[in-house]
Amino acid sequence: MVNFYMLDLRQTLSSSLQKILSALIRTLLRNGFSYGDFDQIARKCFVDIAYQDFTRNGKKQTVSNISILTGLNRKEVKKLHEQDETFENTRIQKRNRCVRVLGGWLNDKDFTNAQGMPADLPVEGKASFSALVKKFSGDMPVVAMQNALLNSGNISTLADSKIRLLNNAYMPSYDPLEKLSILGTDASELIETINHNLIASQQNLHFQRKASNDKISSDSLPEIQQFIKRKSQAFLEEVDLFLSHHETHEDQSKQCKLSIGVYHYQNQVDKES
- pLDDT tens for 177-208 read 777 878 888 899 999 999 999 999 999 999 99
Q: Nearest to residue 64, comparing CAs of 77, 52, 53?
A: 77
Is the separation of the CB atoms in 153 and 167 below 8 Å? Answer: yes
AA identity, residue 74: R
Burial 81-94 (b: 16+ CB within 10 A, else e): eeeeeeeeeebeeb
Map residue 1 onto helix, strand or coil: coil
- How much is the mean pLDDT over the chain? 87
Question: Using CB atoms within 10 A of its CB, is residue 155 exposed (0-12), middle (13-18) or buried (19+)?
Answer: buried
CATH node for 90-165: 1.10.10
Calpha distance 161→122 (Å, rounded)? 7
Map residue 261 onto helix, strand or coil: coil
CA distances from 262 to 53, 97, 228, 235 (A): 28, 19, 10, 9
Helix intervals (H) in 56-175: 63-70, 74-82, 90-107, 129-136, 142-151
Angle, in degrees to the nearest 10, between helices 221-244 and 90-107:
80
Calpha distance 63→74 (Å, rounded)? 6
pLDDT tens per residue across span 43-68: 999 999 999 998 877 788 899 999 99
Q: Cβ–Cβ contacts within 10 Å for residue 242, how many?
A: 11
pTM of the model: 0.68
AA identity, residue 172: P
Across the chain, the runs of DSSP E, i.e. the strands, are: 155-157, 163-165
Among the ranges given (15-29, 57-71, 81-95, 233-247), the one the predictor scored with the smallest mean pLDDT? 81-95
How sure is the predictor about 2, in pLDDT bands with cuts at 50, 70 and 90?
low
Q: Which residue has the higher pLDDT, 221 or 58?
A: 221
The backbone torsions φ and ψ at residue 14, rounded to the nearest 5 degrees and listed phi first, read -60, -40
Max avg pLDDT among 95-99, 210-214, 244-248:
210-214
Percent of the chain with pLDDT strictly greater than 70: 92
Handedness of CA 106, 170, 265, 207 (dihedral sign): negative
161 φψ region: left (φ > 0), alpha (ψ -120 to 50), beta (else): left
Give mean pLDDT, residues 127-131.
94
Calpha distance 181→27 (Å, rounded)? 12
